[in-house]
Amino acid sequence: MAFVPVIPESYSHVLAEFESLDPLLSALRLDSSRLKCTSIAVSRKWLALGSSGGGLHLIQKEGWKHRLFLSHREGAISQVACCLHDDDYVAVATSQGLVVVWELNQERRGKPEQMYVSSEHKGRRVTALCWDTAILRVFVGDHAGKVSAIKLNTSKQAKAAAAFVMFPVQTITTVDSCVVQLDYLDGRLLISSLTRSFLCDTEREKFWKIGNKERDGEYGACFFPGRCSGGQQPLIYCARPGSRMWEVNFDGEVISTHQFKKLLSLPPLPVITLRSEPQYDHTAGSSQSLSFPKLLHLSEHCVLTWTERGIYIFIPQNVQVLLWSEVKDIQDVAVCRNELFCLHLNGKVSHLSLISVERCVERLLRRGLWNLAARTCCLFQNSVIASRARKTLTADKLEHLKSQLDHGTYNDLISQLEELILKFEPLDSACSSRRSSISSHESFSILDSGIYRIISSRRGSQSDEDSCSLHSQTLSEDERFKEFTSQQEEDLPDQCCGSHGNEDNVSHAPVMFETDKNETFLPFGIPLPFRSPSPLVSLQAVKESVSSFVRKTTEKIGTLHTSPDLKVRPELRGDEQSCEEDVSSDTCPKEEDTEEEKEVTSPPPEEDRFQELKVATAEAMTKLQDPLVLFESESLRMVLQEWLSHLEKTFAMKDFSGVSDTDNSSMKLNQDVLLVNESKKGILDEDNEKEKRDSLGNEESVDKTACECVRSPRESLDDLFQICSPCAIASGLRNDLAELTTLCLELNVLNSKIKSTSGHVDHTLQQYSPEILACQFLKKYFFLLNLKRAKESIKLSYSNSPSVWDTFIEGLKEMASSNPVYMEMEKGDLPTRLKLLDDEVPFDSPLLVVYATRLYEKFGESALRSLIKFFPSILPSDIIQLCHHHPAEFLAYLDSLVKSRPEDQRSSFLESLLQPESLRLDWLLLAVSLDAPPSTSTMDDEGYPRPHSHLLSWGYSQLILHLIKLPADFITKEKMTDICRSCGFWPGYLILCLELERRREAFTNIVYLNDMSLMEGDNGWIPETVEEWKLLLHLIQSKSTRPAPQESLNGSLSDGPSPINVENVALLLAKAMGPDRAWSLLQECGLALELSEKFTRTCDILRIAEKRQRALIQSMLEKCDRFLWSQQA
Amino acid sequence: MKRSGTLRLLSDLSAFGGAARLRELVAGDSAVRVRGSPDGRHLLLLRPPGAVAPQLLVASRGPGAELERAWPAGQPSPLDAFFLPWPARPALVLVWESGLAEVWGAGVGPGWRPLQSTELCPGGGARVVAVAALRGRLVWCEERQARAEGPSGSPAAAFSHCVCVRTLEPSGEASTSLGRTHVLLHHCPAFGLLASCRQLFLVPTATTWPGVAHVLLIWSPGKGKVMVAAPRLGLSYSKSLNPGRGDTWDFRTLLRGLPGLLSPREPLAVHTWAPTPQGLLLLDFGGTVSLLQSHGGTRAVGTLQEAPVGPWGSAALGTFQGTLACVLGSTLELLDMGSGQLLERKVLSTDRVHLLEPPAPGMEDEEELETRGNLRLLSALGLFCVGWEAPQGVELPSAKDLVFEEACGYYQRRSLRGAQLTPEELRHSSTFRAPQALASILQGHLPPSALLTMLRTELRDYRGLEQLKAQLVAGDDEEAGWTELAEQEVARLLRTELIGDQLAQLNTVFQALPTAAWGATLRALQLQLDGNGKLRSQAPPDVWKKVLGGITAGKEPPNGILPPFELLCQCLCQLEPRWLPPFVELAQQQGGPGWGAGGPGLPLYRRALAVLGEEGTRPEALELELLLSSGRPKAVLQAVGQLVQKEQWDRALDAGLALGPSSPLLRSEIFKLLLAEFAQHRRLDAHLPLLCRLCPPELAPAELLLLLRTYLPDEVGPPTPFPEPGAEPPLTVGLLKALLEQTGAQGWLSGPVLSPYEDILWDPSTPPPTPPRDL
């Protein structure tokens, strides 16, 4: 490992990316090429993402829950602005220039409503949106320089009147050029155009130009609020060319010009991110002369801006560069307190925090990102040493950090850390630190429990960030314990589902919180692995667990029900994440795994019913870590078999009395949820699908468990699907169970009783076929399966047992049946239902295939054809299973699917679907036998083609042609030739003959088909050698000696294509080899006499044409020659 | 078309520095690794570690030093070596099992010299088992022995490998920069690494744990994706793998997350892998070649006639121009990639053969341009090019042939050389590049845009003609097309010298498409009809010169080919005979000295008459018209004579009267002719006034009477007061009076001296007496 360079300067702050929003974007399906994020805005509560498809996603920042989806039909969302003083309002501009203001009605749990649609800027490009800071008013600026204001009635006050009394759109001004940025503060609107900035007093309608010098280009300007306490007037900063900034007072007078050019010559500061190791290049760059497209006020003292190269943060009052970092291709940045949300040109969104160095290290430590933490420490050691907050980052923390590093790999790092620790001065002297002017304002205390409590010194301080939230000192010790434990639960996913959101805590933390969400007290605790928990904490934990069982189970169900509000913590879901699309960014997953597993094995015994299963599962999972087990199918099966016996035991043993306890409460909760769901109609829940399933499953459980609890479990196992979990299972365990169960299904380990010691199943012991076993297995453990994977596994492992697929679909149907969408899907015509499916069901939902099945059952083939739009969420292999009774209908789907691609991509697309290769012949056979003309019309009694029978129409001729034109091996091609021949698909037959160099055969058939057009045009098959011409002429001669061909199929020959006769072929020959050589060849064949006047005449004209071509060649030669000489000269 | 595969000798290796060592190495050891540099100038040969004497030889064609290195037995030797695709100068990288990587460069100073050396796996303990170079990246598979104590090959060590990547880029003149190490995969089995231009293939090797030997991975750094494929199962999955974003995969997690890969299966039994731009080629022990494509699908390409004998024998696979080439032992088989058909099988004289990838486009030498896209084959005998050539002779004429045939003529005209150029000569000579260029343009290759602009019209016309031909053959009766063709051709021909071939062509055009041809002529000569029904032309004289030019002695055109004027006349005669005389008349007017009317040859009207046929067979009216309009005295007299014979007095008189005062002699000749008739019979009497007008003014009455006397029929008998019934009445003085008066009057009127009594003597009020009427 390379030595970590040390940043010489003492930087107090750094940009850090603690989490990736990629999973969020991909859950919103904003990462496809079809749809991407086009605009961004942020408020305290929301992250708003506008998409190219006209949708606006509102994501609750807390826990990254997707809450609302607002759709617009007027083009992509070009601008979004959240109202900062009321989270319930958001304004959106679409690419067609419409501005829509939404009231979200979140507090009343109502549906979002469009409050106002302004077409004032229709047809123009809205370039800036900005909310008033006090009243409900939105300012809109467009590319032509027009600025308008939309004033809204607060519906809260005059709900009824709102619909009728609308303030008109007020045009504020029209400036000389495109509006680059708008900002508003205390009655003043700041407008930045391409040439200059304007200040506008919106009340007195007064305007000022700021400064005298114009500029040209995108330069931004922003307000810089004054300090509340100091009574200082707000300032304005305007970007100027050459890294300059004007400082302007609130009356629009330029006070001074700040120059940042030289200051920016320092090398960029690395962004601390989990994606890669921080890099620092010492070589200072040259001074940067930049222009800043927008200025944003950030974190009280700072102004942020960006270029295509990086992000720059200034403390303009001190003419100081706080930092600059390389972050490429930023399109827009939204800022909320110290958080930055950067929209990149490619539609990706990254979430950065401006954070002090020690806080950053602290957070990395808390997450156990030892390597990154160590690197950051070393990199910023000057800052760390200088830092006053070394009480936070104490020497023993660094020691602990050092001890966590692997000695083998991080030798250098460790020695660097050691040096750093040595440099730590005594604590006292550290108090007199050289920190910059905006050091954070916290103090901290250490509780007995070992919790570091960070206390804000000042109310309203904005220099803090999310999970390091501030704790009021008024919290009682008791409550702290509660929070600690709940936090612990959160951090240890295997103990509970790890899904306690804020709302959970609210319920048992009876402290009155201050209503300002800004000050929300989040549970805070550091799982300090370097300190043993204090006895008090341990005691509390035991107490908690003892009393928790009933509460927990009920709560669990409750939690699962309220899943839309569940907090997804990607960093705790490393395992699952890595099964999903992206690699987990954990640098040492191994260690984490084992840690988690330890936790699994050691919860207090009396609470957990799954103790044994848990142990077995953990054991099995550990074994699966061993590649020698995982990749040795025998041993893998053994492990699964072993584990399955535990699973069977657990769920067979289960009496449902335990569950019935919870039934009432769950019922109640569930009803609530349903109500909530209904009231939130139209709100897309795009949470992690697993949880969605859980919630669905639990909704199901209302009726299900109600009736099931009176059944004997055995009975239920045989006939009924176990759709939902009979009791709560912690999510960590659930994930493992899902994986193992699905693996069992995939590997055909369906019954623990079958001992496959010698590698094959002893069928004499077992009456049931694997097929029946699989169906039973599916029913029994449906609730445990990873549905998507199970679907794939069934297609792979039970491809010849349609009953397994059907059973699986039955299960999904049961699961979906209580879903309102499913009910709704039972009504309406196909387009309506498709629309519903399109809108309401996420494409990656495992239930999608059920909806597709329902559509197919109802509408048949036409439904299949329309399912192509769900490719690749629904694959052809799904469709094969879907219509395995009617393969013909599959072909209709395939045909449509292929045709849905652009012409030039069809072949390669079809080829990519053809796995395994043998499908080529299967599909070809199917295609030539369906919708085909009768064989009597394609061939005569001797099997020769009937004249013109290649012109008959075939339902799937395009598909057939695609199939036969795909490259394949010789045997396949020959088989294809035979298929085409035997069914009389002559166009395909000819193509194949010529491809396989069976030209004689091809020409024979062409003569039979008696259509000159086959030999003409660019795609015509024309003889290529003299021998072939002779052959063709002889074939025609012998044909003419046979009895006259039957009448063509389409009535008289004169209407049809021109026939193949000596004359026509002779003409073709004359064209191909010139009239004179043609003539001699015809004489040689004894055909010269049969030729007419027309032939001679045509030859004459051909001669003329050829001569003319030669003349053209001459003149082109001359030009070419001249050109080439001029090139040489 | 039947093609034939050829092996063309590009170089017998003597052009390479160190040719002897090169031959020796190629011939000696079939396990030697051979790589060609991107510019095709260098060859790299490396004996793998474990060989008797590991040796590295870099030979270069033309100037440029070779590099030869040997490592004594027992010392570590390079595991692999690659050329780096750097444009400026050749460079190569050597990688040792220990992880040492050395970059060597040539070009700046004399010979090859090491530029840089780096440890790929610092910290030691790791062993590189495979390495590949992929477009500015170095990828290797290393075995990490940190945990496992057991020897390599033990089960515990089976999954202790990592696949890592570092960027490798040129930096500055003489150094390279290696980026940071990214681990792509960890806990993976030993993989073999193969790189094509865009993809890296991670394939199982003999030492790969059998449980995963059915899986292979394709990493596309450009897309940031890794494809996990199990070709035998028809499975493939794509996952993101972008080291730039810090992606890395645990092999176990990767496979566990994908359905179907853990079920029982058998390992891939592959004899030889070969990366190609289309995907990865797999040759199995049954002789079947499959292609694993970039979308993850596998398909069989074809089956070789011979299967590999066990795992030992060498095999090499490559593709070119839609063809799969496979060298197995000493046989070369060529299969069509599209249909899997065996196209050709050749037995080579040696089994030490290596296939080399074609040089990167844009980097090949001038002389290699023609072998572009073809595979190269290296044996001790030399460097060969494997390609397709169309067999000679059986080929039908194509645009290409036309070009070379025409080029012969073209260059012959410019050549000072006596010897006749042949198309073959042009085809293979590099002196004349224009024909090559043009042939390739006509075959559809795009020329430089400047040239394209120059040729645009011609090319368009050329293609238009091709279409026209196709339409014609298809029986399309689109006359407009032919008309245009004929018009353009005539217009073109009229701009040429109109001799030889051109004249023949003109004849052809006029025969095949007379109307259009005439139309084009009309335009070329700018013929217009004026108010008097005469033709006018504004064409420059040289056009007329060409049209009217006769046949120079000794250069008579072959039979049946007419000179332009005759051709036009013939055409006109067929199409619209009444225009022929005015045309000939106009032609005569246009004729200048030395040609046409003024020339020594036959006068134009004679030539025109000759077109009409032999004397006596011609259409009389037309002949008359022609003669009359010719303006030549003889012709006019001839015409008048004919008219007189036909007793068309009116026309005869008109012809005489039409002659302007410029030709008094001819006029008087006609008068005399008619006067003779007048003297002999009375059928002209009705036309006497016209005859009077024709009477030459200078003719004195006495002369008239004298003339009359010569024409009067001899007195057979004594004059009778009354003519015999049925006989013509004789000429009377009354009739003569008018004529005499005319001569007299004209004499008076035109006389220089007027008599003072003139007006008294001449009394216009008394008309001449009416002639007696015939009964």
Residue with token string 């009416």:
B770
Whether B624 and B509 map to the same domain: the answer is yes
Residue A1090 near chain B (CB below 8 Å): no
Inter-CA distances, B429 with B404, B411, B412, Å:
11, 13, 14
Q: How many CA atoms lie within 13 A of A673 on its CB side?
A: 28
pLDDT at A441: 41
Regarding whether B514 and B432 lie in a shared domain, the answer is: no
| Structure-block tokens of residue A158 | 């005059």
pLDDT at residue B552 greater than cutoff 80:
no
How many Å lie between the alpha carbon of B321 and the closest alpha carbon of chain A? 14
Does the pLDDT of residue B99 top 90, yes or no? Answer: no
Say whether B210 sits in a helix, a strand or coil. helix
**How far apart (Å, rounded) are the C-alpha atoms in residues B255 and A638?**
19
Rounded Cα distance, A1081 and B375, in Å: 39
Residues 6+ apart with CB under 8 A from B653: B674, B687, B690, B691, B694
Phi (first) and psi of residue A210, to 5 degrees: -95, 120
Q: Among residues B119, B139, B156, which one ends one of the domains?
A: B119
- Highest average pLDDT, of A480-489, B575-584, B719-728, comes from B575-584
Task: Report the SS3 class of residue B526.
Answer: coil
* pLDDT of the residue at A130: 92
**What residue numbers bound the domain in which B457 lies?**
416-473
Cα–Cα nearest to A181, from A212, A147, A226:
A147
Q: Do B437 and A1124 touch (CB under 8 A)?
A: yes
CA distance to A293, A349, B671, per residue, from A217 (Å): 8, 26, 100
Same structural domain, B102 and B57: yes
Q: Would you state the pLDDT for residue B369?
A: 54
Q: Are residues B627 and B664 in the same domain?
A: yes
Please provide the DSSP assignment of B289-327 as one string. Answer: EEEEETTS-EEEEEE-SS---TTTS-EEEEEETTEEEEE
Verify that B556 and B450 share a domain, yes or no.
Answer: no
**Does residue B456 share a domain with residue B560?**
no
How close does chain A come to B608, measured CA to CA in Å? Answer: 26
Task: Say whether both B422 and B515 belong to one domain.
Answer: no
Question: How far apart are the CA of A586 and the nearest CA of chain B, in angstroms?
Answer: 10
Please name the member of A915, A970, A1016 whose beta carbon is closest to the beta carbon of B339: A970
- What string of H, E and C letters represents the secondary structure of A890-907? HHHHHHHHHHCCCHHHHH
DSSP structure class, residue A270: P
- DSSP letter at A993 equals H
pLDDT averaged over chain B?
A: 78
* Residue A373: burial class (beta carbons within 10 Å; 0-12, 13-18, 19+): buried
CB pairs under 8 A between A and B: 276
* Chain A residues within an 8 Å CB radius of B155: 628
Domain count for chain B: 3
B341, B403, B454 member nearest A997 (Cβ): B341
DSSP B691-730: HHHHS-TT--HHHHHHHHHHHSPP--S---SSPPTTSPPP
Distances (CA, A) of A711 to A836, A1056, B46: 36, 74, 75
Place of tokens 């033990």: B154
Is there a domain that residue B86 lies in? yes
Q: How far apart are CA B691 and CA A824, in angstroms?
A: 115
Listed by number, the residues of chain B in 595-654 with a beta carbon closer than 8 Å to a beta carbon of chain A are none
Q: In 3D, which of A522, A548, A547, A525 has the Cα closest to residue A537?
A: A525
Cα separation, A766 vs A786, in Å, equals 27
In a domain, B420, yes or no: yes
Q: Do A1102 and B469 touch (CB under 8 A)?
A: yes
Distance, CA of A33 to CA of A38 (rounded, Å) = 12
CB A167 within 8 A of CB A153: yes
Element (H, E) at A699: helix A689-708
B420 and B543 in a single domain? The answer is: no
Query: Is B255 within 8 Å of A631 when comparing Cβ atoms?
Result: yes
Q: Encoding tokens for residue A1129?
A: 């000269």
DSSP code for A973: H
CB-nearest partner of A1105 from B256, B295, B468: B468
- Of the candidates A631, A973, A1103, the beta carbon closest to that of B508 is on A1103
Instruction: Give the pairing type, strands A179-185 and A188-193.
Output: antiparallel
B475 and A1058: CB-CB below 8 Å? yes
* B78: CB partners within 8 A, 6+ apart: B46, B49, B54, B56, B71, B94, B95, B96
Give the CA-trace dihedral at B641, B643, B647, B651, to 10 degrees. -130
| In a shared domain, residues B531 and B595 | yes
According to the model, what pLDDT value does residue A390 have?
58
What is the C-alpha to C-alpha distance for residues A576 and A569, in angstroms, rounded to an integer?
A: 11
Q: Residue B349: CB partners within 8 Å, gap ≥ 6?
A: B330, B381
Q: Do B450 and A1123 touch (CB under 8 A)?
A: yes
Q: Are residues B489 and A1107, on separate chains, in Cβ contact within 8 Å?
A: yes
**Closest CB from B255, B338, B396 relative to A1072:** B396
CA-CA distance, A172 to A200, in Å (whole number)? 9
State residue B173's pLDDT score: 63
- Mean pLDDT score, B504-508: 85
For the cut 70, the answer to whether the pLDDT of residue B680 exceeds it is yes
Residue with tokens 């660019």: A1018
Mean pLDDT of B744-772: 51
Look at residues B85, B119, B153 and tell me which one is the last residue of a structural domain: B119
- Rounded to whole angstroms, what are the CA distances from A442 to A100, A302, A359, A520, A1041? 41, 19, 11, 17, 107
What is residue A664's predicted lDDT score, i.e. its pLDDT? 41
Residues B489 and B469 in one domain: no
* Mean pLDDT within B63-82: 81
The two three-digit tokens of residue A484, written as one number: 């600690």
| End-to-end Cα distance, chain A | 57
DSSP bridge pairs for B177: B169
> Which stretches in chain A have pLDDT values below 70?
1-3, 154-168, 227-231, 284, 387-392, 408, 425-609, 652-719, 753-768, 1017-1019, 1041-1056, 1129
Q: Do A1012 and A1057 form a contact (C-beta atoms < 8 A)? A: yes
Does residue B44 share a domain with residue B66? yes
CB contact under 8 A, B474 and A1058: yes
**B260/A746 Cβ within 8 A:** yes
A 680-739 residues with CB below 8 A of B? 739
Mark yes or no for CB contact A1117/B406 under 8 Å: yes
Q: Reduce the DSSP state of residue A452 to 3 states and report it.
A: strand
Contacts of B339 (CB under 8 A, 6+ apart): A967, A968, A969, A970, A973, A995, A996
Token pair in block for residue A243 = 């890294």
Q: Is residue B750 part of a domain?
A: no
Q: Are residues B556 and B531 in the same domain?
A: yes
Helices A535-561/A689-708 angle, 10° precision = 80
Topology at the third CATH level for domain A32-177: Methylamine Dehydrogenase; Chain H (2.130.10)
ipTM above 0.85, yes or no: no
Partner residues linked to A114 by β-bridges: A102
Closest to B586 (Cα-Cα) out of B662, B656, B534, B545: B534
Pairing verdict, β A272-273 and A13-17: parallel
Q: Under an 8 A CB cutoff, do B511 and A916 touch?
A: no
Q: How far apart are CA A123 and CA A100, in angstroms?
A: 14
Please report the pLDDT score of residue B751 as a whole number: 44
Q: Where are the domains of chain A?
A: 32-177, 558-680+687-757+767-791, 819-900, 901-1010+1045-1058
**Nearest residue of B to residue A1027 by CA position?**
B394
Q: Give the minimum alpha-carbon distance from B130 to chain A in angstroms, rounded to a whole number.
A: 21
Angle between helices B479-495 and B449-473 (to 10 degrees): 130
Per-position DSSP letters for B257-300, written without gaps between them = TSTTSSS------EEEEEEETTEEEEEETTSEEEEEETTS-EEE
What phi and psi, each to the nearest 5 degrees, are found at residue A878?
Answer: -65, -40
CA-CA distance, A618 to A596, in Å (whole number)? 10
